[in-house]
Structure 1
Amino acid sequence: MRKTRGLGPFRGFVTAALAGLCVVLAPLGGGCQSDTASYCASRCDCQGCSERETEDCTDDVEDAERLAEHDGCAAEYSNFITCYVDEGTCTNGAFITSSCAAAADALRGCSNRSAAFIKTACQEERAKRESCGLNGGGASPCTGGDECAAYCALSASCDDLSNPQPDTPYVNCVVACSNSGSSSGGGP
């Protein structure tokens, strides 16, 4: 939580006024959830985080926000968080944000240390496979065909991952990725 500086005796009044505004706006759909809280809520609502995991997420993302601001990358940070919350989808216990790859890359390019909380597609694939009771995924580095196959896995069902069948969207996606130069078995 950021400290309110320079308000002296008005600090308590400002805090109370903002809290009251949130109470008034919440029933009207104008909630006061921060981008950080939205990010962690989206991820944890899908993946079923424990209270501790939710707190860790919030700490990591708040630290990333401060680093991004310090490094002059607040816009890139905000663009990624907004994309993640607005465009991500929950599929089989994995929060998939394949459409946010460019925003993630822009934040990494501006401030790699502020982007440390962002998982690669391969790390996300590993987490999804684990949530399905499977092994695999997690290629490092996550580039080319490995990244492509990871996105295929993220959009596949657990059944598709555990028992890939010829000529299904998942298998066809992975086959198409093989032209990208896959170096490890992220797919079937």
Structure 2
Amino acid sequence: MLQSESLRNAARVHKEAAMECYKAGRFGRAKDKAYVASYIFPELPGLRRLNAVLQVLIGYDKKFIGSVDWYAVLGAYPTEDVPTIQERYRKLFLDMTMDDGESLDGTYKAKKILSDSWKFLCNEKGKKLYDMRRHELQLRDRQLPSSLFVPVVLSAPKPNMSNEQMVQPPPPAFRVSGGERKRKASSSTTVPHVNKGRKKQ
């Protein structure tokens, strides 16, 4: 009995710290504190609602290439099937609704976000369309990795090189002699066939 009461008190301390972080808008820190409280004494009133609201609000703030990541809202994975995702949805809804603890600001907003997630993930057609949309966003956002680009390294001149060696004029242009030009012209010029026979009257 004494051990149970001490665990309850320890969980209450962490929950109060989580509530302070929640009111200050530090949702990530609040979730960490609430998780510790749930691990110590999960039956503490108000913890289920707090954890569920934090899950939804933090997941809603996470973006997938600029759009809402509905998987993050439910704490689900794209590889999960629809019945599994529906169970996650129901648990979050019940935790926010059936908890006997004190009311929590932000619960209404979290419920609204949770309700919106149903049409995207909790039915076969919606999940298929949403997964296709995510795939399109991935294709648009895909870029070549930087490892494919080979950097150009400019090496400094050697110390023993003279100024004349470092700065050399370009090689002279190739010149063609007059006879060579004539031979090329004659070989490249086509001469039409001329009939040297008797002219027709």
Does the TM-score normalized on the shorter chain lie above 0.5?
no
Query: If each structure's helix is expressed as a fraction of its own residues, which one has the higher value?
Result: 1
Give the number of the structure whose alpha-carbon radius of gyration is greater. Answer: 2
State the TM-score, normalizing by the size of structure 2. 0.28
